[in-house]
Structure 1
Amino acid sequence: MFISSVEITNFRTFKERKIIRFTEGINILVGPNNIGKTTIIAAIRSIFDKNKFALDINDFSKLMTKEELKKSSPKIEVTVNLQKSSNEDSESDDLLAIRNWLTDVNNPYKAKITMRFQLPIKYEDSYMNAIKSLEDIDSIWLELQDEFLPKYQKKYFVGQAAQPLMDNSLSRFNCQYLPAIRDAEKRMNSGNNYLLNKLLNFFIDYDLKSNKKLEKDEIEKKIQERHKNFHGLSTKLLDNLNPRFTEGKKEMLKYSNQTGATFDGEEPEFNSKLNDHDILKEFSLVVKNGELNVPIKLNGLGYNNLIYISLVLAELQQSRSNSYFGDNSSIFPFLLIEEPEAHLHPDMQYDFLKFLRNNIKDGTTSETAKQVIITTHSPNITAAASLDDLIVLSKYKSDIKIGYPGKAFNEKPKDKKFVERFLDVTRSNLFFTNQIIFIEGLAEQMLIPQFMKADTSGIQNSHISIINLSGRYFIPFLRMFDTSNNPNTAIYKQVSCLTDLDPIKGDNNISWPPIFQEKPDGINKNIDNIKSLNSSNIAVFSQNEDSGYEPNEGWTFEYQLFMDNTDPRKFIFLDSTIMKYCSAWKKTVASRILCK
């Protein structure tokens, strides 16, 4: 079983119903800041996170209008759809546990659960009367927060008929959430029920608990013998220690009679019994370096976070133990991680993602989590990921769009492999930027940013990335942005492609010289190929792009730049003249990149 999609309505960033689709194993949410990645994580947590996840006034979409608020009280709705995994048995424990959630019993089965956060119907009239005379939208929100939010209820509905959830099936999901800013040391070592202590209590005597050759009764008998042996050792220890407190105890507790602590024959005393679980509470993590034991608090944040994540994965493994938890064992442990790159060196980011990919796989065979959903701003992580892992969020014409680059290649598997091979750390930035300029080579990579800096329209502040493809490899990359042919999977961003004329050889098979003296057999077919995509968010620019070709045109960007700036008295790389004498390219970059 895995989470196949999440539907979010009127929750934080998403006002209108938005569907985000996931795959088995690892899913990586990428995109610029404030685009909705954390909203998606929070929506999933609102259903599955066992820790208190209380919704408040700020969880409603603030894009609601005054008229909408006056029409009815606002509500939040989140639906999580689940589906059978590829390697899952037909009669798996997953299916049996969520049988009441099913919407389709066929293979693969499908199920869903919906969370609604809304005002009970009996208070609706009171809400309408309270806000009918309010004309300011902030006043409506304030009235809602003060008078009606305490009356809101979170309820769960399952299955095709959306019946109220009546059993404990939701408790069988183990959702572990790792926030972007995390105090790993505190989370590992805080309280009697802290993570390390929970794991120690589970993994103690693991040689017996995991021994499949022994019967359950035999295992329990051997563990009881170990408890008894430890009790004998601890009794001897305390018998040796207690006499040392005989006089000190009298002094420490001498005021108990005066304060009334000995009322009705009761008096304070030290506990003189000690079992193995009491000792486990005193265990702490250290890092062994040769013969030195370094306390965990002296380690770097990144190292401690890796240790903490490893313990969380161990806890997910523990939660699946049917012999330990019985019917309370987890059927679906999964992991939500925000910005795993926090405090991690780029090499560690790569190794961490590689570890997840090797251990999570399809989710069914994993010992730890069945599914992982990650948010990231790190091109190091996206460069190491598969295109199928990526879910790209982008803002396009005031709407948030969801792109799935791994699904955008249709019947072009070679193009997909090509793009994955060339998506290094630098090129992976195309997933995070607002707009993109694809270029062919090093000259453009050096000069276009300088043109943008010299422009006075503020284009350099538009979060535009210049991606050097090191050749005319536009089409494979553009498939990910082709909103015309792939409207449901494409990444919605404005894309400009800057390419040279690059003439075709003549009939005599002789290359044309860098500067033409007459019309060649043809020019760069790549221009027509890009235009044939007919995608409104993709544009291509070249020399004399409107007229196609004129005599004495330059072969490449470098030659054209020279031909447009032949006046020796004015050096084009002076700040005062750079844009004046590159007018064609100024028009291309500064004005036309945003024209569609």
Structure 2
Amino acid sequence: MFISEINIENFRNFGGSNNVIEFNEGVNVIIGHNNSGKSNLLRALELVLDVGSSKKLLIDDFNKNISIDDLKQKPPKVSITVSFSESDSEPEFSEDLVTVSTWLTNLESPYKAQLTYDFYLPEKEVEEYKKVMSEISSTDSEEYWRTIEHNFLRKYRSNIYGGNPKLKRVADSEALRKIDYQFLDAIRDVERDLFTGRNTLLREVIDFFMDYEIKNDESMEKQEQQAEINKLKMDFSKDAKSLIDTLRGRMKQGKIEMLRYANETGASFGNAEPDFDGHILDSELYAALRLIVKYQTGVKIPATHNGLGYNNLIYMSLLLAKMQKDASGYYLGSNAKVFPVLAIEEPEAHLHPAMQYKFLKFLKNNSEGKARQIFITTHSPNITAAVGLDEIICFHRKQDYSLNVAYLGRVFGEEDKKSKDYVERFLDATKSDMLFAKGIILVEGITEQLTMSTFARYVDCDLEDSHISVINIGGRYFEHFLKLFDSTKQNSIHKRVACITDLDPLRKKHDKGSFTKCYPFELDIDTEHYSYKSCSNNLVGKYGLSNGQSSHDNIVCVSQVEGQGKTFEYGLAYENPECKVILTNSISNAKELDSLFDTYKEGGSLEDMIKLLGNQGDENKRIAKSILQYEKSDDKKHLLAARYLNSIDKGENAYELAQALEENFNKGNKANFKVPEYIGEAVKWICK
């Protein structure tokens, strides 16, 4: 079986009665921005599944988004329902089914079962509750909550019901103990919790794995195994007796002096006197063991002297070993756990990024026989990179603070396998940041990525304060990713996404060939020989942005004005024909471009600027020929933009341009640079 879903009602930031989160068998990685509810989800699971945890809640554990009228009518209540489902590979009449037999809500295969935790005010107290609350006339809801805390919270009760919660059948405690819920919180002190045999965790693990080569020998019958282990225990007792005898011999004379006082105080009477004797069991010597780290050089140091990250890994591995022990029917008989569950909050704490990746891979590949189901909350892109889309559950709080739960693997249907495979390959540690941000700007290249944060400052926005991530997808692959975020589709993440794309106008000869890139000033100048496309993608039409309003709920796609734009760099020069800030050190044809910028600023003619191009190179000749046929007022801007585009190395220029624009802004020269209008609109929309 496996935990298939949880429904959380009025617990912490889970308001209302329909907060359903569905789970996978195996590993479930829950991600989301801060305060989205990840930690509260693990605490909700603990309230239902961990028999030993406190079931008493505090006043701040209630979701307080309840109206005063509702508070007056009935006392607030927390309800958490965990649902179990039959696994595909589960044998008939399994031990799982026996465990949940009294919690069943569906008897037919695949069976369903439920456990419900309720924290409520008993019915006999409700009349008094209504009376007290009706006497409060305040419009401040906090006064009502304070009254509940001071007058009624101590009267609240908790129960865990099995099956249909309306029937109020209290779950059997023995059956509940068959669930082994182990929770590692983010703020953990592993040195406090292990590393000597006196510690309960380590002692239990040592005892289980003692003589493991015998216990795990499948060629021996159980009785043979036990007989062999008993023989080893007897041999140990004989050796221990020899040690005790040696100790007694060493203290023979001292004992006489020590016990002389017993005779003088009257402690010895009736021919009886104190003496020393003893025996040692192997299990009693576990306390003498301590965990060490042994290096290849032969140096040994206590585990407590290691770094926190290393010790966290050791602790989690020992916890998995303990879960394996607790689930062993051979070792514990009928006391063995049936359903081990491991929940880890922020496993990345103290772990190097590479170790985070390796640890998740280990959990995925080695959980069988130790933890039947694993729940992980994380902020780490390295961890999301280690799992598939099917294992990621994303929490996102919308503007009204309602919870959007996205199941990334389900966004893609069978027909979208290509997109799913592409996104899964793409989401490495550097790109997974898009899953954690509150909003995303998707761009085609490195230059846009490096300059976007500075552009935002030029238009009085701040991407960092707005928790917006800029992701370079390395080309025009927007549609693969937009499927993750399209709020009109089920299972998607409802966060704002802005795509910034290039127009890249195209042309092709009528009689042969395919479409190739052209300049915007070349559009329609030779329709006798060419066919033209002013835009090479249709995303702008599908997700347009006009006057700050988008045509889609949460996605926009912007680009340059048709007939003016080509690439990002082209548009940058077209919008800033008098701003030499964009002329970076690595740019080629620097003197020529410098003269072109001066000539434009001084009001020189198009012919003057064409002369500056010179006659060198086929591209210059093409620009000169086509621009003369263009015959529109912005011809000089187009000429300058075309020459600028052909003079930059995009890789090197990206870093220099970003630095130059940042320095220009910091010097207070904001007015001399104009952010391309389409980019400014997208930034303002995403930060709104």
Q: Same fold (TM over 0.5)?
A: yes
SS of equivalent residue, structure 2 residue 543: helix
| Counterparts of residues 282-297 of structure 1 (less than 5 Å) | 282-290=288-296, 291-297=298-304
Residue 411 of structure 2 corresponds to residue 408 of structure 1? yes
Distance 1:262 1:393 in 2: 74
1:340-419 matches, within 5 Å, as: 340-360=347-367, 366-398=368-400, 399-410=402-413, 411-419=415-423
Q: Which whole-Å CA distance do the structure 2 matches of 1:258 and 1:266 have between them?
A: 14
> Secondary structure of 2:578's match?
coil
SS in 2 for 1:180: coil
Q: Deviations over 1:513-555 (max 9, x none)?
A: 33424343341224257439974111111113xxxx24xx121
SS in 2 for 1:452: helix
1:582 correspondence with 2:675 = yes
Deviations 1:220-252 (A, max 9, x none): 333332222222211111111124445656777
User: Is 1:168 equivalent to 2:180 in the alignment?
Assistant: no
Give the structure 2 partner of residue 501 of structure 1: 503
Q: Deviations over 1:351-380 (max 9, x none)?
A: 1111112123xxxxx121111110011011
Maintained 8 Å contact 1:7/1:79: yes
Partner residue in 2 for 1:516: 521
Tell me the distance in 1 between the aligned counterparts of 2:556 and 2:263: 89
CA contact (8 A) 1:383 1:423 kept: yes
- Say if 2:46 and 2:53, in contact at 8 Å, map to a contact too: no
Q: Which residue of 2 aligns with 1:226?
A: 232
> Residues 2 and 510 of structure 1: is their aligned pair in 2 closer, same or farther, counting only changes over 3 Å?
closer
- 116-125 vs 258-267, which deviates more? 258-267
Equivalence map 1:28-39=2 (5 Å): 28-39=29-40
Which of 537, 540, 549 is the equivalent residue of 1:525?
Answer: 537
Question: Which fold has the larger relative contact order, with Cα–Cα distance below 8 Å and residues 6 or more apart in sequence?
Answer: 1
- Superposition RMSD in Å: 2.9
Q: How much has 1:587 moved relative to structure 2?
A: 3.2
- Is the 1:516–1:555 contact (alpha carbons within 8 Å) kept by the matching residues of 2? no
Which secondary structure state, in structure 2, belongs to the residue aligned with residue 168 of structure 1?
helix
Q: Which runs of 5+ in 2 are unaligned?
A: 525-531, 545-549, 584-660
Q: What residue identity is the alignment partner of 1:148?
A: F
1:460 shift after superposition: 4.1
Q: Does 1:15 align with 2:15?
A: yes
Equivalent residues in 2 for 1:171-570, closer than 5 Å: 171-189=177-195, 192=198, 194-245=200-251, 272-290=278-296, 291-360=298-367, 366-398=368-400, 399-410=402-413, 411-484=415-488, 486-487=489-490, 489-508=491-510, 509=514, 511-519=516-524, 520-527=532-539, 530-531=542-543, 535-544=552-561, 549-550=562-563, 553-567=564-578
SS in 2 for 1:272: coil
Q: Which stretch of structure 1 is more off in the superposition, 33-42 or 205-214? A: 205-214
TM-score scaled by length of structure 1: 0.90
- The AA in structure 2 aligned to 1:95 is L
Q: Quick one: distance in 1 between partners of 2:12 and 2:252? A: 63
- 1:538 partner letter: I
2:288 counterpart SS class: coil
SS in 2 for 1:91: coil
The amino acid that maps onto 2:557 is: V
Secondary structure of the structure 2 residue equivalent to 1:349: helix
Aligned residue in 2 for 1:592: 685
**Structure 1 stretch displaced more, 392-401 or 201-210:** 201-210
Please, which moves more after superposition, 29-38 or 151-160?
151-160
8 Å CA contact 1:454, 1:579 repeated in 2: no
User: Letter of the aligned partner of 1:212 in structure 2?
Assistant: E
**Alpha-carbon deviation of 1:261?**
9.9
SS in 1 for 2:5: strand
CA distance in 1, matches of 2:207, 2:216: 14
Is 1:515–1:559's contact at 8 Å kept on the other side of the alignment? no
8 Å contact from structure 1 (residues 12, 61) kept in 2 = yes
Give TM-score scaled by structure 2 length. Answer: 0.79
CA deviation vs aligned residue, 1:248-292 (integer Å, no higher than 9, x gap)? 567778889999999999998766221111112221111112333
For the residues of structure 1 that align with 2:450 and 2:466, how far apart are their CA atoms? 19
For 2:342 and 2:200, locate their aligned partners in 1 and report how far apart those are by CA, in whole Å.
18
Shift of 1:298: 0.8
Range that drifts further, 331-340 or 79-88:
79-88
Structure showing greater Rg: 2
Give secondary structure in 2 for the equivalent of 1:154. strand
Partners of 2:16 and 2:264 in 1: how far apart?
Answer: 68
Determine the C-alpha separation between the residues in 1 that align with 2:118 and 2:262.
Answer: 54
Contact 2:28–2:374 at 8 Å: present in 1 too?
A: yes
Q: Aligned to 2:507, what secondary structure does the other structure show?
A: coil
Distance (whole Å) between structure 2 residues aligned to residue 85 and residue 478 of structure 1: 33
Deviations 1:43-90 (A, max 9, x none): 001111243334322211132333332222211111111111222112
Q: Point out where structure 1 has 5 or more consecutive residues left out of the alignment.
A: 361-365
Aligned length: 582
Q: How far does residue 19 in structure 1 lie from its aligned partner after superposition? A: 0.6
Q: In the superposition, relative to structure 1, how do residues 409 and 133 fare at CA in structure 2: closer, same or farther (>3 Å)?
A: same
CA drift of 1:440 comes to: 0.8
Cα deviations by residue, 1:161-208 (Å, 9 ceiling, x for unpaired): 552213511110111111112211221147845111001112222233
